[in-house]
Chains A and B, each alone.
Chain A
């Protein structure tokens, strides 16, 4: 017998001795011969070298079939609706911001004519001089007759001589720091210069638009809460049903010493992976839908509606939704499972 062979037998014997039950075998008359020990050691070495199958089942399974499909569809549809709603909110928000940026950087002053043309001109000059020296005013432009005519053309037609009409003069005033501009003070100071002048600062119009947009946002948030609520309810239902179906498995796991947290994490791992995949499908399906809606919105020839933009960071928000939903699902499932298990032995 070679030294190597003797070493192998020694190793095999040591391995046998590691296992308490093996001693029982020996005492049972099934004494382990050197050859058997060697064979077993070789077999164990071979088994250790073998790769375990990749498709490992989970201890607490989520059943294939109706329940799993229902969950997948619920999560995918929820993420789809989330994405569409979020895209809508982000689009409307950008539209409002773009419009506000355009509008708040200028305002219009309307100057009513006086009975005497000379006085009207002097009045207009005073107002222009006053405005040009006013803080934060960048530029004051008096709209020409041609420009006024173009503005009035839709109502009065092309062949009207506006000199014959008591049309007010319009001043386009560009300002810096439009958001903090104090229109009240300007109105008071301007009234001291001329009783004929009045300011149209778009704020009223903007505040109405803002109210409308806020209402839309509230509606969107309500939809999101309802969708999230539906999704959460589905997860709670699926988790409770799954736990009831697998009472026996849970009982075995508890007997082996598993804590409620161990069982919950085992379940949550599966459901999170599943909902992340379903969420990605929902998000991918939402992309063409968002692009179609965006394309249709661009087709609206209505001034401010053209200014809605959908940037890179907005797409990032949309594409993060599957992971947000997976987190929501995981949290819901974990809490449901732990709570349900507390009522089990």
Chain B
């Protein structure tokens, strides 16, 4: 029996994060994400959502407490292993963070190239995904030359092309119209249905009201869990 199936995908015990000598932006966080769960992460601007996400995609190590991702204690894991763990995580950034000097194709192909996949297979998968996100007409255009909505779709294609086990989305609907936002939410739900653990950081009450997902609320660096989503 695969014991990993029953382990939480992310486990946080008394986790705290501070930048340099500044006060902690995250304090004493205790929470576990079950494999295959989906959550909203909400809170006011500056509450620490992005900081929490950056710990989850292993860009930051907690300054206190224990953070386990895929069963690995992040503080005790070496650089190369962290890199391999990151390959199991898909991230959609609020500001897209595309490599502007690369084409749309190369941006989406990036996670596969990093994994060392053969170019023929990469081409096959990227073309299929770009056709689905309706960007095949701009496949070889530099990502700096496409519109904001298109950039959003490239960022999402890049995040999901690897079929990540954990998908983190920071305000994914912040820069798109309501129709695309709806499409994106459907996509996240479908990925979650297929087993991906999804965390969506947002402060859109409308979005949270529309979808009945458990909420994690960050306030003054403290995390609380709201299962009854009719509240707020």
Is there an interface contact between B110 and A255, defined as CB atoms closer than 8 Å? Answer: no
Is there an interface contact between A24 and B190, defined as CB atoms closer than 8 Å? Answer: yes
CA A248 to CA B33, docked complex, whole Å = 29
CA A48 to CA B130, docked complex, whole Å = 12
Is there an interface contact between A21 and B191, defined as CB atoms closer than 8 Å? Answer: yes
Is there an interface contact between A256 and B106, defined as CB atoms closer than 8 Å? Answer: no
Measured CB to CB, the closest approach of chain B to A252, in angstroms, equals 5
CA A64 to CA B222, docked complex, whole Å = 47
Is there an interface contact between B114 and A253, defined as CB atoms closer than 8 Å? Answer: yes
Is there an interface contact between B105 and A262, defined as CB atoms closer than 8 Å? Answer: no
Is there an interface contact between B124 and A28, defined as CB atoms closer than 8 Å? Answer: no
CA A67 to CA B110, docked complex, whole Å = 26
Interface size class of A (residues with CB under 8 A): 35 or more
Is there an interface contact between A23 and B123, defined as CB atoms closer than 8 Å? Answer: no
Is there an interface contact between B128 and A20, defined as CB atoms closer than 8 Å? Answer: no
* Chain A residues within 8 Å of B131, by CB: 40, 43-44, 47
* Chain A residues within 8 Å of B186, by CB: 24-25, 27-28
Measured CB to CB, the closest approach of chain B to A46, in angstroms, equals 9
* Chain B residues within 8 Å of A252, by CB: 97, 99
CA A52 to CA B124, docked complex, whole Å = 12
* Chain B residues within 8 Å of A258, by CB: 83, 114
CA A345 to CA B61, docked complex, whole Å = 9
Is there an interface contact between B99 and A47, defined as CB atoms closer than 8 Å? Answer: no
B139 within 8 A of A: yes
62-116 of chain B: CB within 8 A of chain A:
79-80, 83-89, 91, 97, 99, 101-103, 105-106, 110-111, 113-115
A19 within 8 A of B: yes
* Chain B residues within 8 Å of A53, by CB: 103, 140
B34 within 8 A of A: no
Is there an interface contact between A255 and B124, defined as CB atoms closer than 8 Å? Answer: no
A342 within 8 A of B: yes
Closest to A43 in B: B131
Stretch at the interface among A54-62, A198-206, A302-310: A54-62
CA A345 to CA B124, docked complex, whole Å = 32
B117 within 8 A of A: no
B189 within 8 A of A: yes
Is there an interface contact between A21 and B60, defined as CB atoms closer than 8 Å? Answer: no
Is there an interface contact between B99 and A249, defined as CB atoms closer than 8 Å? Answer: yes
A295 within 8 A of B: no
CA A52 to CA B186, docked complex, whole Å = 32
Closest to A60 in B: B99
Measured CB to CB, the closest approach of chain B to A203, in angstroms, equals 61
CA A253 to CA B163, docked complex, whole Å = 17
* Chain A residues within 8 Å of B111, by CB: 256-257
Q: Given A21-B187, A23-B190, A260–B79 Cβ distance below 8 Å?
A: yes
Q: Which of A59, A251, A255 has the most CB of B within 10 A?
A: A255
Is there an interface contact between A57 and B83, defined as CB atoms closer than 8 Å? Answer: no
Is there an interface contact between B189 and A24, defined as CB atoms closer than 8 Å? Answer: yes
Closest to B112 in A: A256
121-159 of chain A: CB within 8 A of chain B:
none
CA A345 to CA B57, docked complex, whole Å = 12
* CB < 8 Å neighbour of B183 from A28, A251, A255: A28
Measured CB to CB, the closest approach of chain A to B170, in angstroms, equals 12
176-203 of chain B: CB within 8 A of chain A:
182-183, 186-187, 189-191, 193-194
A18 within 8 A of B: yes
Closest to B113 in A: A59
CA A150 to CA B191, docked complex, whole Å = 103
- B residues whose Cβ falls under 8 Å from a Cβ of A: 57, 59-60, 79-80, 83-89, 91, 97, 99, 101-103, 105-106, 110-111, 113-115, 123-124, 127-133, 136, 139-140, 158, 160, 163, 182-183, 186-187, 189-191, 193-194
Instruction: Give the 10 A-B CB pairs with smallest separation, nearest first.
Output: A257-B87, A24-B190, A257-B86, A24-B186, A259-B83, A24-B187, A28-B186, A47-B127, A258-B114, A256-B111
17 further A-B pairs in the complex, CB-CB below 8 A; given A28-B183, A59-B102: A18-B128, A19-B132, A21-B133, A21-B187, A24-B187, A27-B186, A47-B130, A52-B105, A57-B101, A248-B97, A249-B99, A253-B110, A254-B59, A257-B84, A257-B86, A257-B111, A257-B115
24 residue pairs from A and B, CB less than 8 Å apart = A15-B128, A18-B128, A20-B163, A20-B194, A21-B190, A22-B132, A23-B193, A25-B132, A25-B187, A27-B186, A28-B182, A28-B186, A53-B103, A59-B106, A59-B113, A248-B97, A255-B97, A256-B110, A257-B88, A258-B83, A259-B79, A259-B84, A262-B83, A345-B59
- A residues whose Cβ falls under 8 Å from a Cβ of B: 15, 18-25, 27-28, 40, 43-44, 47-48, 52-53, 56-57, 59, 61, 248-249, 251-260, 262, 342, 345
